[in-house]
Amino acid sequence: MQQVSVKDLPALVASFEAGARPIVLDVREPWEVQAASLALHGAPTVCIPMNEVPGRLAELDVAQPVLSLCHHGMRSLQVAAFLERQGFGQVFNIAGGIDAWSREVDASVPLY
């Protein structure tokens, strides 16, 4: 698993070939996703709360790169490590989470 800063995230997404486009796996709770969301061109978002990931693993493609996201980067780090143990080959943790995205990249994304 690799860490990716929010400032480097758009370039990372752009670096993937068309057939290997990543997904953003948002592991926050539904109320958090409603409070603030991240939209990255070229990386669709899949929302699965952290505690539901093991039971919903079949919804993810093991061959697709995964960018794991949460509020501050800790839950997403745990999920990224879990995905690696399950055989996912390209897993990235978005360091600092949506909070860092709002503070460093896009101030229009609400803080909560």
- Name the active-site residue from 70, 77, 91, 94: 70
Residue 70 a catalytic site member: yes
Confidence of residue 91 (pLDDT cuts 50, 70, 90): very high
Q: Note the pTM of the prediction, 2 decimals.
A: 0.95
% of the chain residues with pLDDT over 70: 99
Residue-wise pLDDT tens digits, 1-22: 899 999 999 999 999 876 788 9
Phi, psi of 3 (to 5 degrees): -95, 140
- How many helical (H) and strand (E) elements, i.e. helices and strands, does the chain have? 4, 5
Domains of the chain: 2-104 (3.40.250.10)
In this predicted structure, what is the pLDDT of residue 54?
98
